[in-house]
Chains A and B, each alone.
Chain A
Amino acid sequence: MKYSILILLCLVLSLSSCADKNNPNYQYFPDMYQSLAYETYQEATIFPNEQEAMLPVEGTIPRGWLPYNYKNNPEGYNLAKAELKNPLVYSEENLKKGQELFNIYCATCHGQKGDGQGWLVQQEKILGVPAYDDQGRAITEGSTYHVMYYGINTMGSYASQMSEKELWQVNHYVMKLKAELEGKPERAFETEKETKQDVENTVEEEVAITE
């Protein structure tokens, strides 16, 4: 009996040693396993760089999206800072979504309260993150959006991670945090109707399409 157990053990060992964690396992008749169509992110030799994902032609506009018209330079920044306004309604729903997104994308550095004391800053991995009530920067709705869209200095662009609408939702939450840091009273929630009266803003339409 002892011997049979030993033989079994050997068998198991020899079988299990076939498995190699660096390579995928054997497959049995993989009929419809590999895609004939081109799948997102895959590698394909016919494309430049063998990258399946190719850039759209510059200047084209997909449905439900409009280009952002401010340039990525100091003039564009100042212009956006002065005149760009948040087209979304300041509603509880938007603010809640904004908070959720803020905690994913921004709070790592800027801190959950927007005071520039995120976890990475506390660990001294990333330094020089200002608080939102920083007087020298004096952020506005427009400048915040501009910076999220393009990035500024060491901060990168977040336009690839969030849609325009989501950026504006975060924007609402950032402005709320700023008001909190400055000790200003909380802004009252608006309903759809109030803002629709003072529309006439191209950006407003843009978001309407996105929605």
Chain B
Amino acid sequence: MKKVILRPSLFALFFILFSISAYSQDAKVDSTATASAENTDTASSVVPGGDPAKGEKLFKSLCATCHKPYERFVGPALNGVVNKYNGDFEWLYAWIRNNQQLIKSGDSRAVAIYEEYNQTAMNTFPQLSNQDIDDILAYVEQPKPEPKVAVADNASAGGQAQGNQISTDLILAILSFVLLLLVVILYLVNKTLNRFAEVNGVKIKSEDERPKKPLWKAYAENGFLVLVTAVIFLLATAWFGYGYLMQVGVDQGYEPIQPIHYSHRIHAGDNKINCKYCHSSARVSKHSGIPSLNVCMNCHKQIAEVAPETQAKGKEEFNVDYNAEIAKLYEAVGWDKTTQSFTGESKPVKWVRIHNLPDLVYFNHSQHVTVGQIACQQCHGPVQEMEVMYQNAPLTMGWCINCHRTTNVKVKDNGYYTKIHEELSKKYNVEEFTVADMGGIECGKCHY
């Protein structure tokens, strides 16, 4: 502001008034606007008449696919674009509405930027009015907001938190000191009183001093009790021994450490991504495969960092730096964040498989998921709440058969079952029948 105020021109005065009215909510915008006005000597705000609030909405719905205001993305960072083109708004309008036409017309600046970004064609936006574009430009030309969380951490929250910690520590120290003091005092009082008693010849009554059989001797002499204990002991041994044998080879609760801390809670829970989005082969294949890295990059091309709240939660509750985990993904897939391109150096992620069936079992996901329409959670548990994936079901043979005995076959709208359903329902006079009725517990069905 200083420079402008020093300039004794009416123009500047007008500018100050204008900029204050336009950006009254943000003084910082004001100052950069002034600076650029100095530079280009157009003596107007960077984007006259642009409404950043409206622009933000438009930017987020139309431009944010490829642009970020302060960072290079698919397209260039947009902050400072007005100055770059010397405030040539007509050119910017033309470019934004139909960059293809501009490139074809041989405009040097248009061709230059097209070449710089590897001939990636920008989308056209014929529906935007000049006012809309002004709004968008006003939004992107806002100076980068200070990272609020970090600031809060360092200055206010950090200081306060530290202050709080000191004060709680202090309180704890005082309390423990008081406690210690009380103990010492009580001990001293007790000692003094005892001494008084001794001096005065008062005999302190100790506990009953009758000669007493030790408890174990009394117990050993009671035959009935010993018998009962022996029976209980035998039963318990059998119970626990059998229980131990029955859990050999069962991996329920198996929760290994994965190479990348992938959180199903965030993806399937918070973000409500459908299970089959990533595990798409569950619909059509025997294997519900682990998604390949290209599926990760469908979204993580755009999401390089998690939201600050998510990051904070990860650090506090799970001791995980989510952003570092995303960086691990980029490293595996060979994605260079700064140039927004693939380096071609990829290496597979060695996920640890949790649900393992012995090789002598044939299990097919697609016939359970697509045909049987069984919800994923029925076998895999509440995956959308799992921060780290674990095995929910025992996957034992009894578990499989139990379900086959109680689940009805989905015969409706399935051409394969029309005839057999008709005949069976006529013969046995039933509408529904279970998988077991259909031969779903025969050895050969699963074990060849």
Contacts and interface: CB of A to CB of B under 8 A. Distances in A.
B240 A15 contact: yes
A114 B95 CA distance: 27
B248 A26 contact: yes
A48 to B, nearest CB: 10
Contacts of B125: 136
A181 interface: no
User: Lowest 7 CB-CB distances: which A-B pairs, in order?
Assistant: A128-B65, A128-B64, A127-B64, A156-B298, A35-B359, A161-B280, A33-B358
A24 to B, nearest CB: 5
B121 A160 contact: no
Given A116-B61, A128-B62, A156-B301, A123 B253 contact: no
A163 B251 CA distance: 35
Contact of A160 (B233, B272, B292, B299): B292
Nearest to B359: A35
Interface in A101-158: 103-105, 108, 116, 119-120, 123-131, 134-137, 151, 153-158
Given A21-B255, A119-B271, A15 B356 contact: no
A28 B245 CA distance: 10
Contact of A128 (B61, B257, B274, B359): B61
Contacts of B126: 135-136
Contacts, number: 153
A30 B358 contact: yes
17 contacts: A1-B229, A15-B244, A21-B255, A25-B251, A33-B358, A51-B348, A103-B274, A125-B299, A128-B60, A128-B62, A135-B126, A136-B124, A154-B302, A156-B297, A156-B299, A156-B301, A161-B277
A43 interface: yes
Interface string B197-227: 0000000000000000000000000000100
Interface residues of B, number: 67
B329 to A, nearest CB: 13
Given A21-B390, A153-B74, A154-B65, A41 B287 contact: yes
* Consensus secondary structure, chain A interface: loop
A44 interface: no
Contacts of A43: 350
Contacts of B280: 105, 160-162
Contacts of B350: 43
B276 interface: yes
Interface string A17-32: 0010111111110101
A69 interface: no
A151 B127 CA distance: 24
Nearest to B292: A160
